[in-house]
Structure 1
């Protein structure tokens, strides 16, 4: 390229920028995926990585709730996970407690695959500091836990 030809320098810079952008995009892929509601679900607690035996003594699920999504608090295997998959054992009873992290109005509901509330397992929409959905008996129809007004606040339920 000639130093005196500004057109050649611009063309070279454009090509260099395009190559860098392509490399950047190619290098930014990871194993996280967005669900149909735009919520990010990490693979650390999803799919084949879940060990149901870790969940055998769990009877309380704790989540931080914010408009951007649920974040696991307890049990330890979901701590810090965005919209973590929750493992429940059919016939066992659970409490779901969530802590409001953004003072927004939220609730928690248990949904089936058809996005219908299972057995009236839903709380009122509130902006309280915390709220608990008590006495949830796990059944095979349960598929998701969700904040009704915020679609990105949704995670999967795996029934064992």
Structure 2
């Protein structure tokens, strides 16, 4: 597999050179935006992400599918709002920021660098610009964000089936398809 630019840097800083770690995390760095082991449907209804922050990297706390994983890939649905809470696991000075592919902070989604017990980044609205979450001073505390289309698209899919020739409530079928 060929890694270039930010993808290569992400794989290196996440410490994913060990084959066993790669398999446990669903591929490179928790599934690197679309790995086979990421169950996107399991992320529906999630609105809070909880992580332990330590110099060695982020560790997933909640939801359950990331619990115990190092630098897990986070799945977000576009236009949905999320809170990111991190717990200081080593008393060091950390923060959390949401970055795009160019390693720029998205929509000012960042917290102050603190050594508090916990900190929450509230009201993060998922957008396709989001690529990573990280602790600014610690390169090894960076992992991918996988942004999926808005959940409303599933509801529209059901409506589309009805419009494409299936019977509606009045018993009318393919009349519109002529």
Equivalent in the alignment of 2:78: 90
Bigger proportion of residues as strand: 1
Deviations 1:57-79, CA, capped at 9 Å, x for gaps:
10000000000000000000000
Aligned residues of 2:131 and 2:145 also touching (Cα < 8 A): yes
Whole-Å separation in 2 of the counterparts to 1:39 and 1:133:
25
Gaps in structure 1 of 5+ consecutive residues: 1-33
Alpha-carbon separation, structure 2, partners of 1:155 and 1:76: 17
Task: Tell me, yes or no, if structure 1 residue 121 matches structure 2 residue 117.
Answer: no
Query: Does the Cα contact within 8 Å between 2:14 and 2:141 map onto a contact in 1?
Result: no
Deviation track 1:2-33 (CA, whole Å, cap 9, x = no partner) reads: xxxxxxxxxxxxxxxxxxxxxxxxxxxxxxxx
Question: How far apart in 2 are the matches of 1:143 and 1:48?
Answer: 18
Alignment RMSD, CA only? 1.3
Q: Counterpart of 2:13?
A: 37
Q: 1: distance between equivalents of 2:13 and 2:82?
A: 26
Within 5 Å, give how 1:5-154 maps onto structure 2.
35-40=11-16, 42=22, 43-44=25-26, 45-46=30-31, 47-154=35-142
Matched pairs, number? 127
Which sections of structure 2, spanning at least 5 residues, go unmatched? Answer: 1-9, 149-178
TM-fit CA distance, 1:39: 2.7
How far the C-alpha of 1:48 sits from its partner, in A, is 1.2
2:12 match: secondary structure: coil
Indicate conservation of the 8 Å contact 2:14/2:57, yes or no.
Answer: no
